[in-house]
Structure 1
Amino acid sequence: MAGNFEELHCWQACYNLRNYLKISVLEKLPKNEKFELHSQILRAARSSTANIAEGWGRYHYKENINFLRFSRGSVAEILDHCIEAKDCNYINLETLDEIRLRTEKCVQLINGYIRYLRSKSDEK
């Protein structure tokens, strides 16, 4: 198990997604979306990493898995908000496709970590 949540591949992928969103999406949103779509995307991106960190800090497999599920939900929320951004022509299709790839990677890594924790829980 990782010595720090920052070593978790799922956290790293969500962190990289968050940074990508700041540059490729949030900066392109119009000012009238500052407290709407901008805020929702940023909160979901922050939540994706924060929930992984909080779950890691719980030290109980079942609690950790619950926080990983919240993180996975936040990643799905990011994709939904970015689809909305594309529909409003705030971002282009290439950016949305990149976000799809990155969110898929995050979900795969989160799911893999959940499977790992379940296997460790079964060993006890």
Structure 2
Amino acid sequence: MDNNKKIQDYRDLLIWQKACQLIKNGLRILKGVKKDFISWTIIKQAVNSLLSIRANIVEGWCGHYGKSFASYLEIARGSVGETEDWFYALFDEKYITEEVYRNFSRDCRELMAMLTSLIKKIRNK
């Protein structure tokens, strides 16, 4: 996105774009996980929390303004944390490698930092 471009749609938001990248990467990782009862349980929760990130950004943008939008961003930030923890569970149970987990965790933390920055900006207006 061009940083000088006026934001007219949620798709223009860098946080939405980053969430889309995180979802694509997360789903790609999850597709490669060996499937059994435990992994299916974790995967289902991971997919739900992963998709919730972008959904809350969109819901907040489309239906709420100002500080109310910030509340939806806080929910999205919580979903990022939840998602990161589900991926930790996959790592802890040896379904994904430490490298895969660390890279995914780094991406989660980047998005959390972006969300935190925008939340602070909105709340301080």
- TM-score norm. by structure 1 comes to 0.88
Which residue is equivalent to 1:24? 29
Which residue is equivalent to 1:39? 44
Return the structure number with greater helix share. Answer: 1
- Counterparts in 2 of 1:15-94, with a 5 A limit? 15-32=20-37, 33-34=39-40, 36-94=41-99
Aligned amino acid, residue 52 of structure 1: I
Distance 1:20 1:103 in 2: 11
Runs of 4+ with deviation above 3 angstroms: none
Alignment coverage as a number of residue pairs: 119
Deviation at 1:6, TM superposition (A): 1.2
Which residue is equivalent to 2:3? none
Superposed CA RMSD: 1.4
Native 8 Å contact 1:82 1:96 kept in 2: yes
SS of equivalent residue, structure 1 residue 42: helix
Distance 1:14 1:29 in 2: 25
Structure 2, unmatched stretches of 5+, are 1-5
Which residue is equivalent to 1:108? 113
Aligned amino acid, residue 20 of structure 1: N
Aligned-pair identity (%) = 22
SS of equivalent residue, structure 2 residue 89: helix
Distance 2:34 2:42 in 1: 8
Native 8 Å contact 1:28 1:91 kept in 2: yes
SS of equivalent residue, structure 1 residue 2: coil
Distance 1:105 1:29 in 2: 27
Note closer, same or farther for the CA distance 1:115–1:81 as it changes in structure 2 (3 Å cut): same
